[in-house]
A and B are shown apart, each in its own frame.
Chain A
Amino acid sequence: MRRTWWVYVIAVLGLVAVAAPFLWMFLGSFKTQGELLRVPPTWLPEAPTTQNYDDLFAKANFPRYFLNSTIVALAVTAGNLIFCSMVGYALAKLNFHGRTALFVLVLGTLMVPGVVTFVPLFVLVTNAGLANTYPGLILPFLVSPFGVFLMRQFFQGLPDDLMDAGRVDGSSELGIFARIMLPLTRPALATLGILTFLGSWNNFLWPLVVAQTEEKYTLPVALALYSTGQNAQNFGLLMAGAVVVVVPVLVIFLAFQRHVTKGIAITGIK
């Protein structure tokens, strides 16, 4: 296929189709309720107002939800970086009994959907006194089969000579892991960190189940309940809410997109 101008026309039209709903949301969040209901709709806000954002932050307690989402996502990301790299290293580089069994277990649960585990998890978390708490939101996601798989793949690509050199120098096994091997996995850690953060930020079913009062809602839970509850008709507020959920993710993604697309191409999993 030769490069021709029409290929670019199609590609740009595709980009417009992808971007249009986001643009619609962004522009809509600055419109008044009256303008949002107008037929035919306007593109640019006629009298741009930040009223929707003011409501979001003053009346709707979105700063709280934002903080909750941030706390949960950071904790989940830290846990995955620490624990998944530890296990990934053991599975890839250490000889021990039960290694194959552990790996099979990890692979076998790679595709277990959240909808299968949330009921017993809720019973467990409630009886542990963790319902409607940060640990209740965080603990079930502190490790992930995906993270273990990704880190194992990456560690396998590192040469064994480095470990042998460390052993000759008298390093302990844990020292070899922490000081020699782990620093070499920065690209994989970056990929895992970003994917985990985004996954946690967007996670919905479990926070919906376990966050029972408003002060523990994460952003998606709050937005979903607002959009189906008594604020369902407050279009401007919902548009502004969607902006607050989406924009941090877009910023993080655009800043680190190389790591994300590379990680997906390597492991093939999102």
Chain B
Amino acid sequence: MSSVSARGRQTAAAWILTLPFVALFLAFTAGPVLGSLGMSFTDLRQRDLRTPFAVNGVGFGNYVKAFQDETFRKAALNTAYFVLVGVPLTLVLALAAALLLDRGVKRFQSLFKVGYYLPVITSIVAIAVIWRFVLAPEAGLLNTVLSWVGIDGPNWLASKTWAMPSLIMMAVWRNFGSAMIIFLAGLQGIPQTVEEAGQLDGAGSWQRFRYLILPLLRPTVLFTSVTTGIGYLQFFEEPFVMTQGGPLNSTVSVSMYTYQQFGFGNYGLATSMSYILFVVIAVVTFIQFKLLREK
């Protein structure tokens, strides 16, 4: 058995094993990624659906149009708001929950872990439907609980001020369990001796966390902030079900506006908007890696 023929047989096997994947992947992932880019430079509309190649190039026209569109700019700001407030809140809550479980809750730990994780695996659509009732002005769960302590809660989803914080609150509630699991794995990877050394040096528990544990968790923080950030940049179901982007476009997101433009038949414009989002996702990912690496 020569090594050449061994390698030949491995190559043959590899191609048989990868062929179905490569075909599906090219047709349904790689192809559309490039197709989307191509379409974003054309005036493709719904009436061209059957003849997608018989369209005119418009250069950067769609991108110019997107940035000049007031609603798109509003959607971009809303998305930034959702991400910049939502991601830190989610991570802080996730880390707090992970610390609580790792340091304090030894008994029934997996019960709490599974419990906190439950919302992550449930459909956002279903959760958004439930939360519409939780946030209802009069008969809602949240305002009922608030009234116990004498607070007269607003009509959350109908208020320009409170609609977005409501969506963020729901997103944090739904997603913190995911980052918590990863933080827990990170915390369990830190050897006991690190904290014992800090204890011997007389560091208090906050100091030990701040100067010993947190720096060691840097890769985990990096990872969770990137994945949470990427997810939040695409938020769509929440406004679709809960507010339809309102009131007065105060919760319309880039994903949702892209979908609306698609619904209006403006395929070229929709793809340019989705590509702007795509570039932002790539850049944000890159920056977050840089920032957390350097410090």
Contacts and interface: CB of A to CB of B under 8 A. Distances in A.
Interface of A: 1, 3-4, 7-8, 10-11, 14-15, 17-22, 24-25, 28, 36-41, 83-84, 86-87, 89-90, 94-97, 99, 102, 105-106, 109, 111-124, 126-127, 139-143, 145, 148, 167, 172-174, 177, 198, 201-202, 204-205, 208-209, 219-220, 223-224, 227-228, 235, 238-239, 241-242, 245-246, 249-250, 253-254, 257, 260-261, 264-265, 268-270
B216 interface: no
16 contacts: A11-B105, A11-B112, A18-B173, A22-B118, A24-B130, A24-B134, A95-B11, A112-B278, A113-B233, A117-B29, A173-B12, A173-B13, A205-B236, A249-B122, A253-B121, A261-B181
Contact of A102 (B22, B24, B140): B22
A12 B255 CA distance: 36
A265 B49 CA distance: 43
B4 to A, nearest CB: 12
Nearest to A91: B18
Contacts of B144: 40-41
- Provide the main secondary structure of the chain B interface: helix
B129 A227 contact: yes
B125 A220 contact: yes
B104 interface: yes
A18 B277 contact: no
A242 B126 contact: yes
List the 7 shortest-distance A-B pairs measured between CB atoms, nearest first: A7-B104, A120-B35, A173-B13, A117-B32, A96-B14, A220-B125, A202-B123
A113 B223 contact: no
Given A15-B116, A116-B274, A145-B29, A245 B125 contact: yes
Contacts of B230: 111, 113
B18 A173 contact: no
B29 A177 contact: no
A31 B185 CA distance: 42
B69 interface: no
Interface in B224-244: 227, 230, 233-234, 236-237, 240-241, 244
Contact of A220 (B22, B29, B116, B123): B123
Given A117-B29, A223-B129, A111 B24 contact: no
Given A95-B10, A223-B129, A117 B33 contact: yes
Contact of B123 (A36, A127, A142, A246): A246
A167 to B, nearest CB: 8
B41 interface: no
Interface residues of B, number: 99
A202 B124 contact: yes
Given A95-B7, A228-B241, A18 B123 contact: no
Nearest to A140: B28
B17 A41 contact: no
Contacts of B117: 257, 260-261
Contacts of B178: 264, 270
Contact of A224 (B17, B52, B240, B267): B240
Contact of B139 (A37, A111, A126): A37
Contacts of A227: 125, 128-129, 132, 241
B152 interface: no
B116 to A, nearest CB: 6
Contacts of A140: 28-29
Interface stretch (B70-78, B95-103, B159-167, B287-295): B95-103
B176 to A, nearest CB: 9
